[in-house]
Amino acid sequence: MVSADHSSSFIGPDSKMHEGGEAGGFVLSVYDFNIYHAGDTNAITDMEIINYLYKPTHALLPIGGG
């Protein structure tokens, strides 16, 4: 599990704001592949560190939305 940066708060059925937990991403090593799943993160400088440490061969990155 690697760091990510994203708000995880949500409005519950009681119409109050609740914290949903910590944001995170994952690096999975499978055979000759290192797959980086960024989760629902913003672009962060830690991505450079993840690249240096884990050398991902493939990446799953969020592209935004509404």
35-55 pLDDT, tens digit each = 999 988 888 888 999 999 999
For residue 24, give every residue at least 6 positions away whose Cβ sits within 8 Å of its Cβ, in sequence order, or none.
1, 2, 3, 4, 39
In a domain, 16, yes or no: no
Give the chain's mean pLDDT.
Answer: 88
- Provide the residue range defining the domain that includes 1: 1-6+22-66
Q: What was the pLDDT predicted at 66?
A: 56
More confident: 6 or 33: 33
Q: What was the pLDDT predicted at 21?
A: 79
In a domain, 50, yes or no: yes
The answer to whether 1 and 25 are in contact (CB under 8 A) is yes
Q: Domain count for the chain, please give it.
A: 1
